[in-house]
Amino acid sequence: MNEFVERQMKLTWRPPKKSYDVVIVGAGGHGLATAYYLATRHRITNVAVFERGYIGGGNSGRNTTIIRANYGIPAAVRFYQRSVDLYRGLEQETDRWLMHQQKGILWMAHSEAAVRTERMRAKLNTEFGAQTQFIGPRQVQELCPQLDMSGGGRWPVLGASYHPQGATARHDRVVWALAEGAMERGAHVHQNTPVEGLILDGERVAGVRTAAGDVAAGAVVSAVGGHVSRIAAMAGLRLPIRTHRLQAFVTNHYRQQFGPIVASSELFFYASQTARGEMLLGAEIDPQPSFSYRSSHDFVQDVCRRALCLLPFMGNLRVLRQWTGVCDMSPDYSPIMGRTGVDGFYLTTGWGTWGFKAIPAGGEQMAELIATGEVPELIAPFGLDRFARDRTMADRGSAGTH
């Protein structure tokens, strides 16, 4: 976090104590949300969040900040809708401006098969609590006049599923608000303090070894993004996780207003306009497993080629910035939350390319699990044991980023 921001915020830094009730590894969105909800919902404030870098400096600062609940399986629709609802109230709850803006998402269909898929998505979403409806080309054009409805002649827009609650928020403000909320209630956040190992007491995880010394803990939660396999290995666990890069970029300022978030799973890209007026584009993960933060030119080239089919006006814009996050991908494209089989060790991972939208609900549910000792119904299907039980939560089609 930079000095300017620190001056604006009421954060009290304290040295690490010898012991905490709960230690959270990773001060990104999910780690801080867990600390925040432990403090606000369960009055558990003897909590420390250890961060190897700075608050929100990992994937929380490297995503495309899209918030939506139009997923493809019932459990996921319910979970992400909870998150959409929490996000809508988060500004008021934290008394911070998060630049949360409801824009609506248009998910384009360019073929009969895709029309069928989007119609099904709308039905399933409505059934399980998320507002999504299928709309025809005329309504699509009204919502987004910039679209070339012929899709460059090759990808005609035959309709779209419209999810009006789709939104974006400012990633930094979200993590800072959660950090402030947790810290002013007594939780500690320790930046620049990597966790180097776990303290094992027999079969149980009893604390963490950090760069600032050993810290005992009643419960340890890994909310790490990008390096979770390494943390899990410290507890003797092997995970169904492979880490891939995900790139995104923004263009220079587009003078007109671009209302909704536009996505197409046939063209594999999505676009939205940032608060600064830049057009933000994202697409699929890189094919090779990698922990490198390097971004590549061919990604920009590929995505531009596809995006210009639908949004030809972007041909006059220039690419301004490009960045990369490293995503922990689960095999079924659903998150992994809950107990691990190792006592005292909890995981919230597998956030792949869909972590930002789940920050409040993920934190709330993990906090409830830790505070009550019971797995909340909302995240019960997303346990790590689902792979051994042959109950995977396959939802690749909803990720929108593969």
Asked if residue 331 binds another protein (CB under 8 A), the reply is yes
Taking CB under 8 A as the binding criterion, the range among 76-84, 238-246, 255-263, 355-363 that sits at the site for another protein is: 238-246
Give the H or E element holding residue 247: strand 242-253
Question: What are the distances in angstroms from CA 209 to CA 24, 173, 202, 349?
Answer: 12, 30, 16, 21
Please provide residue 315's backbone torsions phi and psi, each rounded to the nearest 5 degrees: -60, -20
Asked if residue 238 binds another protein (CB under 8 A), the reply is yes
Q: How far is the CB of 164 from another protein (least distance, A)?
A: 35
Q: Classify residue 326 as left (phi > 0), alpha (psi -120 to 50) or beta.
A: beta
- Give the number of residues written for the chain: 402
Q: How far is the CB of 217 from another protein (least distance, A)?
A: 25
Which residue number, 242 or 253, has a Cβ lying nearer to another protein? Answer: 242
Which residue number, 181 or 350, has a Cβ lying nearer to another protein? Answer: 350
- Pick from 134, 299, 354, 382 the residue near another protein by CB under 8 A: 299
The token pair that represents 16 in the structure block: 């690490």
Asked if residue 290 binds another protein (CB under 8 A), the reply is yes
Q: How far is the CB of 385 from another protein (least distance, A)?
A: 10
Q: Are 264 and 159 in contact (CB under 8 A)?
A: no
Which residue number, 192 or 301, has a Cβ lying nearer to another protein? Answer: 301
Asked if residue 289 binds another protein (CB under 8 A), the reply is yes
Asked if residue 242 binds another protein (CB under 8 A), the reply is yes
Parallel, antiparallel or unpaired: strands 213-222 and 269-273: unpaired
Count of beta carbons in the 10 Å neighbourhood of residue 320: 13
CA 121 to chain centre: 21
The token pair that represents 199 in the structure block: 């303290």
Identify residues 373-402 at the interface with another protein (CB under 8 A). Answer: 387-388
Size of site (CB under 8 A) for another protein: 24
- CA neighbor of 65 nearest in space, from 101, 97, 12, 37: 101
Which residue number, 106 or 327, has a Cβ lying nearer to another protein? Answer: 327
In whole angstroms, how large is the CA radius of gyration of the chain? 21
Asked if residue 297 binds another protein (CB under 8 A), the reply is yes
Beta-bridge partner residues of 289: 244
Q: Are 111 and 266 in contact (CB under 8 A)?
A: yes
Which residue number, 212 or 233, has a Cβ lying nearer to another protein? Answer: 233
Which residue number, 7 or 297, has a Cβ lying nearer to another protein? Answer: 297
Asked if residue 240 binds another protein (CB under 8 A), the reply is yes
Largest CA distance in the chain: 65
Q: How far is the CB of 108 from another protein (least distance, A)?
A: 23
Q: Are 67 and 169 in contact (CB under 8 A)?
A: yes
- Pick from 294, 315, 316, 373 the residue near another protein by CB under 8 A: 294
- Pick from 286, 364, 368, 395 the residue near another protein by CB under 8 A: 286
The Cα 76–Cα 400 span in angstroms is 14
Asked if residue 284 binds another protein (CB under 8 A), the reply is no
Which residue number, 55 or 384, has a Cβ lying nearer to another protein? Answer: 384
Which residue number, 112 or 298, has a Cβ lying nearer to another protein? Answer: 298
Q: Are 118 and 134 in contact (CB under 8 A)?
A: yes
Which letter, b or e, does each residue of 366-386 get, where b requires 16 or more Cβ atoms within 10 Å of its Cβ?
A: bbbbbbeeebbebbebbbbeb
Asked if residue 296 binds another protein (CB under 8 A), the reply is yes
Identify residues 85-144 at the interface with another protein (CB under 8 A). Answer: none
Taking CB under 8 A as the binding criterion, the range among 107-115, 199-207, 257-265, 293-301 that sits at the site for another protein is: 293-301
Q: Which residues bind another protein (CB under 8 A)?
A: 227, 229-230, 238-243, 286-292, 294, 296-299, 331, 387-388
